[in-house]
Amino acid sequence: DGGITQSPKYLFRKEGQNVTLSCEQNLNHDAMYWYRQDPGQGLRLIYYSQIVNDFQKGDIAEGYSVSREKKESFPLTVTSAQKNPTAFYLCATGLADTQYFGPGTRLTVL
């Protein structure tokens, strides 16, 4: 099946822990993105990557880290430095100025 997969669907974290959200795609798109969505709000860009081994900070990168070791994968780590990590996280891929989104991961800090 083609598309974007994100795992897990739901994630619970204790304060002070780092967690990693997975994003995998088999669309052969070069660009990948991570967004954060808070209740009743639009999406905000965390990080993006246009090619393997390269990534750039978005508008709200503090407390997050990423890697892009292969084209298909763009994992996001939410570190303990992120002060308010409870949110819905969406991964996207990009082709010709259009972005396509995965199903999302809902992170809750306990």
Partner 1 sequence: AQKVTQAQTEISVVEKEDVTLDCVYETRDTTYYLFWYKQPPSGELVFLIRRNSFDEQNEISGRYSWNFQKSTSSFNFTITASQVVDSAVYFCALSEPYSGGYNKLIFGAGTRLAVHP
3-state secondary structure labels for all residues of 6-59:
EECCEEEECCCCCEEEEEEECCCCCEEEEEEECCCCCEEEEEEEEECCEEEECC
Task: Name the minimum Å distance from CB 16 to partner 1.
Answer: 27
Residue 11 is a binding residue for partner 1 (CB under 8 A): no
Q: What is the DSSP secondary structure assignment for residue 2, as one 8-state letter?
A: -
Residue 58 is a binding residue for partner 1 (CB under 8 A): yes
- Name which position in 11, 27, 45, 52 contacts partner 1 (CB under 8 A): 45
Residue 102 C-beta-side C-alpha neighbours within 13 Å: 30
- Name which position in 26, 50, 62, 69 contacts partner 1 (CB under 8 A): 50
- Name which position in 28, 69, 103, 108 contacts partner 1 (CB under 8 A): 103
Nearer to partner 1, 66 or 92 (CB): 92
| Alpha-carbon span 110 to 86, nearest angstrom | 9
Nearer to partner 1, 13 or 44 (CB): 44
Residue 31 is a binding residue for partner 1 (CB under 8 A): yes
The label of the residue with tokens 């303990």 reads 80
